[in-house]
């Protein structure tokens, strides 16, 4: 947990961060009154002042409050704490299917089981006129018991809210978005079913349906390209399941399954008529929702353990013994040589050391022309009689200096006070900060111009192809312009804190647009 993370919000003690996204952060929390562990979602402070994000967050709260299903993560409560919007949800202990798919495709039986649970949740939500609009493996949480919980209703809307899509509402993840979502057309329950089909496609193949990298190319693929049939990627996949998936991802909504129940019935009919357990692709062992077993990873060589008494083991021991003996002999020789040098070197007497120091001082003062003349000045002192006083006796006082100025100290000039020095340093730091922020604005201006040009070119091409620019891209472009303008105004006024706030917002929007252009 970072230093900026609060330790407690209301009656909830924050334990650690679970994850974060473009809109908020999710924390693992404990209610100090009930001791129940739950999940808390907080909207990012930088976005709390923007009405569109607040509206989306409150809409998610109201949507979850209307749903109660075993395959949907439940809402516990919601409240505001200062300027923060807080939502407390059921904590689901498990992993997302997106994380699970990083280890390869799922066994067919598991993929069919998990998809059927998601369809059960959607059947319940659709019956209450709620469309999720962001179905993907990353929003499907899998518990160790094999239960799937559908999460993140942040983009969900009621079927009565027709205007949201038409006004350019933010779309879901493009890899799983339906063609009508990509084209900013009206969407209904069948868009969710398309996204379920794309997710099932990835579960059984281990690959995304389209391998395009940029947002624009993915959008074009969703509208125009026919995906490879899953059975072409996994030949062992049953033809019946292949046909179910291809029907679910039809471009025309009228050619897809019309309801979640029909889709689920098709999977049940396929399962009843086929032995799906025998059609599991060769990937990793079935876990049926449990933690991954430490199976041998395909393609990774496992070292063979050396058996005691083998010829290789005896040879290794012989080599180690020879090396140890050689090291001992070498160490003994080094030690004896060191002792011999210590015996041949006699330490200098204190008197000799003192004389040499004095002579060295004189030599430094006269700076001889050659090393021979310098050596000539160093004379061995006569031996000190045993009855002579020790050099440790108190030396006589040195004569006083003849410099009259030494007895008349100069007055110490009075410098600026500590408060004045602090004020000068603060002014210097402020100037440096403003200069650095001015340079940062110049750099962001350059990136913004490049992004504007790229988005404009794509917008023209999309209009020619009959596509509409994504609503979130339009919003990001507008926010980027406004944030940069406000950052410049604050900088001109010398308000570094306010300028920093809008610079961070502009940077966030520019990154979003660069990702759309495939530059990140």
Catalytic residues: 134
Query: Alpha-carbon distance 102 to 417, whole Å?
Result: 63
What phi and psi, each to the nearest 5 degrees, are found at residue 95?
-130, 155
Q: What is the DSSP letter of 251?
A: S
Query: Alpha-carbon distance 22 to 227, whole Å?
Result: 29
- 229-232: long-range contacts, CB 8 A cutoff, minimum separation 24: 230/201, 230/204, 230/205
Kindly give, in sequence order, each residue whose CB lies less than 8 Å from that of residue 220, ignoring residues fewer than 6 positions away.
Answer: 212, 465, 467
Bridge partners (DSSP) of residue 30 are: 13, 37
Kindly give, in sequence order, each residue whose CB lies less than 8 Å from that of residue 73, ignoring residues fewer than 6 positions away.
Answer: 39, 64, 89, 90, 92, 141, 149, 150, 151
Q: Look-up: residue for tokens 């620019």?
A: 469
The alpha carbon of residue 475 and the mean position of all alpha carbons in its chain are separated, in whole angstroms, by 25
Number of neighbours of residue 125 by Cβ within 10 angstroms:
24
Query: Alpha-carbon distance 403 to 405, whole Å?
Result: 5
Kindly give, in sequence order, each residue whose CB lies less than 8 Å from that of residue 263, ignoring residues fewer than 6 positions away.
Answer: 119, 193, 196, 197, 244, 248, 257
Q: Look-up: residue for tokens 């959607």?
A: 122
């Amino acid at each position: 947990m970072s230093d900026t993370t609060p330790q407690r919000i209301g009656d909830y003690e924050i334990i650690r961060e679970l994850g974060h996204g473009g809109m908020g952060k999710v924390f693992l929390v404990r209610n100090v009154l009930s001791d129940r562990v739950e999940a808390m979602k907080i909207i990012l402070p930088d976005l709390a002042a923007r009405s569109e994000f607040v509206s989306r967050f409150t809409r998610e709260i109201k949507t979850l409050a209307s749903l109660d299903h075993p395959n949907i993560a439940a809402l516990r409560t919601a409240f505001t704490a200062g300027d923060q919007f807080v939502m407390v949800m059921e904590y689901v202990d498990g992993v997302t299917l997106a994380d699970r798919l990083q280890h390869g495709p799922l066994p067919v039986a598991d993929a069919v089981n998990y998809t059927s649970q998601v369809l059960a949740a959607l059947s319940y939500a659709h019956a209450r006129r709620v469309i999720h609009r962001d179905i993907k493996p990353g929003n499907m949480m899998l518990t160790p018991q094999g239960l799937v919980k559908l999460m993140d209703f942040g983009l969900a809307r009621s079927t009565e809210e027709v205007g949201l899509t038409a006004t350019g509402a933010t779309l879901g993840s493009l890899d799983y978005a339906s063609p009508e979502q990509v084209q900013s057309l009206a969407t209904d329950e069948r868009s969710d079913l398309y996204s379920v089909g794309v997710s099932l496609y990835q579960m059984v193949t281990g690959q995304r349906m389209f391998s395009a990298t940029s947002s624009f190319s993915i959008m074009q693929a969703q509208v125009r390209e026919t995906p490879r049939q899953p059975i072409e990627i996994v030949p062992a996949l049953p033809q019946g399941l292949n046909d179910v998936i291809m029907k679910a991802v039809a471009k025309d909504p009228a050619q897809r399954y019309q309801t979640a129940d029909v889709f689920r019935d098709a999977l049940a009919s396929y399962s009843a008529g086929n032995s799906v357990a025998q059609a599991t692709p060769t990937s990793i062992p079935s876990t049926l929702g449990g933690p991954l077993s430490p199976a041998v990873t395909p393609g990774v060589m496992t070292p063979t353990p050396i058996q005691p008494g083998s010829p290789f083991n005896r040879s290794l021991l012989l080599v180690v013994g020879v090396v140890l003996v050689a090291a001992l002999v070498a160490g003994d020789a080094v030690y004896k040589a060191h002792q011999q040098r210590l015996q041949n070197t006699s330490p200098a007497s204190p008197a000799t050391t003192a004389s040499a120091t004095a002579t060295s001082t004189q030599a430094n003062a006269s700076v001889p022309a050659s090393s021979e003349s310098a050596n000539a000045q160093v004379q061995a002192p006569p031996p000190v009689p045993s009855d002579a006083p020790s050099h440790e006796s108190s030396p006589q006082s040195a004569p006083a200096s003849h410099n009259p100025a030494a007895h008349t100290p100069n007055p110490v000039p009075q410098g600026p006070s500590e408060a004045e020095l602090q004020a000068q340093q603060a002014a210097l730091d402020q100037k440096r900060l403003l200069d650095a922020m001015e340079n940062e604005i110049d750099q962001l201006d350059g990136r913004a111009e490049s992004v504007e040009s790229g988005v404009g070119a794509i917008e023209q091409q999309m209009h020619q192809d009959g596509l509409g620019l994504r609503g979130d891209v339009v919003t990001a472009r507008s926010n980027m312009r406004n944030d940069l303008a406000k950052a410049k105004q604050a900088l001109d006024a010398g308000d570094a804190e306010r300028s920093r706030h809008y610079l961070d917002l502009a940077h966030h929007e520019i990154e979003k647009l660069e990702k759309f252009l495939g530059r990140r």
